[in-house]
Amino acid sequence: MGGYYIIFMSGLRASFAQDFYWGTSTSAYQIEGGGSNTDWWRFERAVGTPAVETCGVACDSWNRYEEDLDIAASLGLNAFRLSVEWARVEPHRGEIDVAVLEHYGRVLDACWARGLAPVVTFHHFTLPLWVADAGGFESPDIVNSIAHYARVVAEALGEKIAFACTINEPNIVAQMGYLYGFFPPAVTDWARFRAVNETLRLAHRAMVDALRAGPGSYPVGLALSMAQYVSVNGGDERLASLRREMEDEYLKVVQDDDFLGVQCYTRHDIGPEGMVWDFEGERTSMGYRYWPQCVEYTLHRAAQMTAIPLVVTENGIGTEDDTQRIRYLAEALEGLRRARRGGVDVRGYFQWSLLDNFEWTLGYGPKFGVVSVDRNTMTRSLKPSADWYARYVRHGPSPTANGEGSRRRPGPTLPELTD
């Protein structure tokens, strides 16, 4: 991809090649299947686990990735976000599976062949068993280990990467694994939660250095979970401490990155004891508040606290009602347009997710995909929301949220977001 990248702004090592990236996001464990060498696979089967079912074959995308990429390309997208599974690449400490790297190389080639810029996430929630058994993100060796893994993958695949995310939602890894106990290793301890957050920030910086060592020249950033936090019933102090750990300390360490991936879904009400889940109003199947306004809010907040380009690397809704999904996406994308018109430097939007996939402790219940997957046959079927998203990408917003009405211009082109 030698001539693909250009320097476009002082302080950034490489630019995004498109004016705007339209994509969809996935993760290896949630769609590939067969992740038996991970902490998650074991966690799902442990006595007393909060996991409602096991991942198993997931969406069988290890074998069906070309079909998935065909679908993404058919929607008129120009990017596709995926992750590389550390437990496959390095099944045992120091043992690199070259065949796995070759497989992921073929996946990246398949992206480019379809006009999809591959956005590669290096860690998306799962750890190899040997890492977990050594203490996971509490291990004294974890920063060096994860940086070594990133370096190995970059050396093999760097010239095929469009841009890279080091860690997906490290703040959620810490919160759900070490504060709420819903992810492995199922700890509920504020001090350990804070310590793991700090380790994850160190891991991110080490991974950035490893990826920037080459080969290839591509933007590198962090994919951070953000939300609109609201204090209720006197929760100001708790909100400040939680947001400091979940967002502010991370926003400090990304200042030298090439971009920040903003991932947002909802609003969080915070009382004196923490999250408040008893609220009135529309909910999603995850129990979240229906809150597409989070996109505009988090983009503005990220822009206020950083001076680097932003990419919405995840946004979407878990719902059985596809008309609700279309309505959510329409409102979220209108918020993104307003943010851009207001001067926020946002370079892309990735809907979560392409497929109805494995949703961690909640199993296959929540439906985030614009494409359904038959759990018996693995047959993919596009939902009306897939067609709606494709029309939006090609022609821009139409007068109604269901995608009907006049179109701005013949496609396929990117919608004008700076009017």
Domain boundaries, the chain: 21-395
Q: How confident is the model at residue 408 (pLDDT cuts 50, 70, 90)?
A: very low
Both ends of the chain: CA-CA distance in Å?
Answer: 32
Task: For residues 32-56, give the mean pLDDT.
Answer: 97
Predicted pLDDT at 15? 59
Render pLDDT for 275-309 as a digit per residue (tens, 0 to 9): 998 888 999 988 899 999 999 999 999 999 999 99
Of 133, 171, 130, 356, nearest to 260 by C-alpha is 171
Distance of CA 163 to the CA centre of its chain: 13
pLDDT confidence of residue 335: 97
Structure tokens at 55: 């991942």
Backbone φ and ψ for 222, nearest 5 degrees, come out as -115, 145
CA nearest neighbour of 240 among 207, 208, 272: 272
pLDDT of residue 417: 40
pLDDT for 385: 98
Residue 389, pLDDT > 70, answer yes
Rounded to 5 degrees, φ, ψ at 117 are -70, 120
Mean pLDDT of 96-115: 98
Residue 13, pLDDT > 50, answer: no
pLDDT (0 to 100) of residue 19: 83
Instruction: Say what percent of the chain tops pLDDT 90.
Output: 87
How much of the chain is helix, strand and coil, in % rounded to 5? 40, 20, 40
Quote the CA–CA distance of 374 and 367 in Å, as a whole number.
Answer: 12
What dihedral do alpha carbons 61, 66, 68, 71 form, nearest 10°? Answer: -170
Residue 13, number of CB atoms within 10 A of its CB: 15
pTM score, two decimals? 0.92
Query: Which ranges constitute the DSSP H helices of 114-267?
Result: 129-133, 142-157, 170-178, 190-212, 236-243, 249-253
DSSP 65-81: HHHHHHHHHHTT-SEEE
Mean pLDDT of the chain: 91
For residue 409, pLDDT beyond 80: no
Q: Average pLDDT for residues 270-279, to the nearest whole number?
A: 92
Q: Residue 248 carries which DSSP code?
A: I
Q: Tell me the C-alpha to C-alpha distance, in Å, between residue 362 and each of 55, 236, 365.
A: 10, 30, 6
**pLDDT tens digits, one per residue of 227-258:** 999 999 999 999 999 999 999 999 999 999 99
What CATH number has the domain spanning 21-395?
3.20.20.80
Angle at 23 between CA 26 and CA 172, to 5 degrees: 45
Q: Give yes or no for residue 406 having a pLDDT over 60.
A: no
